[in-house]
């Protein structure tokens, strides 16, 4: 069983789209996505420096566009619903995953995320806040220390990693007195994402998202809120797994914690045998190797990984009737 995962903010790097531009159709796709985002994704993905692409308003559409460029290249015209068994995305990666699942089309995903990015950047600029990864330590002690420092566990990632978020002075306090056997690593992000500091962004994004074109998911899609597949989520006044359920949860997630640990638990429960992380890949496959032992993982970082990705799909997709599952593991 194949899971396709989409990375979140912080996975970008300067020039990451440059090698993809050598492939047929990619420049045209990037032109469409850039127009939808109302930003020059071609320049940001090739010549913009690290400081510029760290800007939330740039980073989020750039990351989602990169994931979708990789997806379309790997599938070469095939519908994701033909080969992908389950998909999920970390934070902003949820919008790329929504495109994998068919909830949003590619231009719609990048266009919607551009609003999300601008509103979150503006909310982050209002107060001096940030995020730090807390690596190691006893999970309960880590969460208690984060709370005691007046912070929020913005990302509970599993694999011994929790991201604390809040006021910079509180993050400094946590770093000065970390939980036992844990280290605190400041992250290069603009603000305290997935916390109440993002409430102004949520309120501005909500009416935009509510009117956005969307469709019911055609691939099993997991929610960052609790790791549940949308087909099992029963929201008040809605039907299981419908398009508007997805959009409402994507909206609420701006100011709510990312429970990637629960997403990984669901992947294990579903019997996933392989994880394919779309570009700019690396972080989520690293977490999967620690939390989901025995599965095969592949992070797509450049076109050099496309053939390996197609091979992984051919051996693990349960959706594709022409393929057979494998349980081989990779380093």
Residues carrying an active site annotation: 91, 194
Q: What is the rounded distance in angstroms from the CA atom of residue 201 to the CA atom of residue 56? A: 12
What residues contact residue 176 under an 8 Å CB cut-off, 6+ apart? none
Q: What angle do CA 115, 117, 119 make, to 5 degrees?
A: 70
Strands 161-167 and 152-158: antiparallel
Q: What is the rounded distance in angstroms from the CA atom of residue 290 to the CA atom of residue 263? A: 14
Nearest one of 162, 133, 158 to 289, comparing CA atoms: 158
User: Which residues, listed in sequence order, are joined to residue 6 by a DSSP beta bridge?
Assistant: 89
Nearest one of 124, 92, 258 to 190, comparing CA atoms: 124
Using a 10 angstrom Cβ sphere, with 0-12 exposed, 13-18 middle and 19 or more buried, the burial of residue 28 is exposed
Pull the structure tokens for residue 182: 């844990």
- Cis-peptide into 280, omega within 30 deg: yes
Q: Of all residues in the chain, what percent are helix, strand and coil, respectively (each to 5)?
A: 50, 15, 35
């Amino acid at each position: 069983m194949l899971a396709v995962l989409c990375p979140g903010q912080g996975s970008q790097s300067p020039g990451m789209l440059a090698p993809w531009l050598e492939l047929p159709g990619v420049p045209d796709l990037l032109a469409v996505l850039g127009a939808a985002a109302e930003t020059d994704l071609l320049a940001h993905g090739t010549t913009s420096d690290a400081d510029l692409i760290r800007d939330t308003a740039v980073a989020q559409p750039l990351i989602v566009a990169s994931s979708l460029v990789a997806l379309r290249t790997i599938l070469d015209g095939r519908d994701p619903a033909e080969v992908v068994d389950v998909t999920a995305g970390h934070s902003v990666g949820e919008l790329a995953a929504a495109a994998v699942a068919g909830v949003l089309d590619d231009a719609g995903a990048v266009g919607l995320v551009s609003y999300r990015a601008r509103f979150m950047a503006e909310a982050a600029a209002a107060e001096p806040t940030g995020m730090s990864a807390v690596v190691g330590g006893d999970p309960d002690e880590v969460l208690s220390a984060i709370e005691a420092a007046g912070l929020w566990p913005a990302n509970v990632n599993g694999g011994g990693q929790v991201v604390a978020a809040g006021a910079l002075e509180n993050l400094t306090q946590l770093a000065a007195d970390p939980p036992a056997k844990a280290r605190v690593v400041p992250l290069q992000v603009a603000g305290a994402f997935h916390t109440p500091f993002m409430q102004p962004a949520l309120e501005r994004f909500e009416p935009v998202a509510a009117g956005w074109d969307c469709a019911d998911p055609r691939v099993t899609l997991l929610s960052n809120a609790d790791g549940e597949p949308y087909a099992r989520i029963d929201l008040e006044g809605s039907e299981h797994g419908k398009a508007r359920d997805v959009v409402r949860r994507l909206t609420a997630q701006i100011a709510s914690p990312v429970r990637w640990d629960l997403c990984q638990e669901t992947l294990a429960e579903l019997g996933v045998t392989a994880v394919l992380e779309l570009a700019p890949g690396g972080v989520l496959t690293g977490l999967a190797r620690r939390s989901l032992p025995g599965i095969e993982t592949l992070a797509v970082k450049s076109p050099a990984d496309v053939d390996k990705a197609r091979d992984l799909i051919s051996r693990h997709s349960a959706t594709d009737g022409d393929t057979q599952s494998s349980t081989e593991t990779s380093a």
